[in-house]
Amino acid sequence: MPKFAANLTMLFTEMPFLDRFEAAHKNGFSAVEFLFPYAWPADEIKALLDTNKLELVLHNLPAGNWDAGERGIACHPDRVNEFKEGVNKAIAYATILGVKQLNCLAGKKLDHVSAEQTHTTLVNNLKFAAQELKHHGLKLLIEPINFFDIPGFYLNHTQHALDLIDAVGSDNLFVQYDIYHMQRMEGEIAATIEKHLSKIAHIQIADNPGRFEPGTGELNYAFMFKHLDQIGYQGSIGCEYKPKTTTEAGLGWLKALNQ
């Protein structure tokens, strides 16, 4: 069975962020992920990981002003210098935290920027980031996200992510495949993961509709977890869902798997 990582941005939100590490450990998780570590000193987060015997499997590159609605700046031609500074900052954190892969959020397409310039900017930024991360033994990931939850997000489909990987031409760029997002955009989850397994470095889960925990919606996660085992998926599975009530009350799906 793959390793499940609690997404601390979305789970245990009834408590302060730094308290969620202990909660993840107490509820049976051996790994965690989250959007961003940058609001806290890296050493403080590393101490929490070590104390609670947790592996950090993923965080994101800096993604602009999140509170103002930005969802990445990698496709914004006027933010290239800021993007490159963010890559260096992410590497510094990753080195201390021991994480092995970083996700790059493409961002929302700007209305005043042409499709060609948007594409070229993103490809060039990904080339830079993939090379810089490779020097430090880190994988770079890109994530297709549905345009219902984030209108205007530039990268929405698996094939678009694969086309970007081809355009970048690096062996250090992979797909972060979020089952919830791709269920909303295209379906064919099991077949798509199997077909492109060599390009998928990380998988995230939530059920649909609602983005709640597995077992609350239309997706057959019992089948999906067995399928991932059968096809030889070696990465972690990030639990990036919204608990329908509280995190602990919604962990029955995980406890059933561990029995």
Catalytic residues: 143, 240
Q: In this structure, is the dihedral angle defined by the CA atoms of residues 152, 158, 164 and 165, taken in order, positive or negative?
A: positive
The total number of residues written for the chain in this structure: 259
**H helices, E strands: number in the chain:** 9, 8
DSSP summary character for residue 240: -
Region for 123 from its dihedrals, namely left if φ exceeds 0, alpha if ψ lies in -120 to 50, beta otherwise: alpha
State how far the Cα of 254 lies from the Cα of 259, in Å rounded to an integer.
9
Q: What residues form DSSP beta bridges with 5?
A: 31, 238
Let me know: does 256 contact 25? Beta carbons within 8 Å: no
Strands (E) across 105-244 are located at 139-142, 173-178, 200-205, 237-239
DSSP for 47-70?
Answer: HHHHHTT-EEEEEEPP-S-GGGT-
Distant-in-sequence, close-in-space partners of 37: CB < 8 Å, separation ≥ 6 = 45, 59, 93, 97
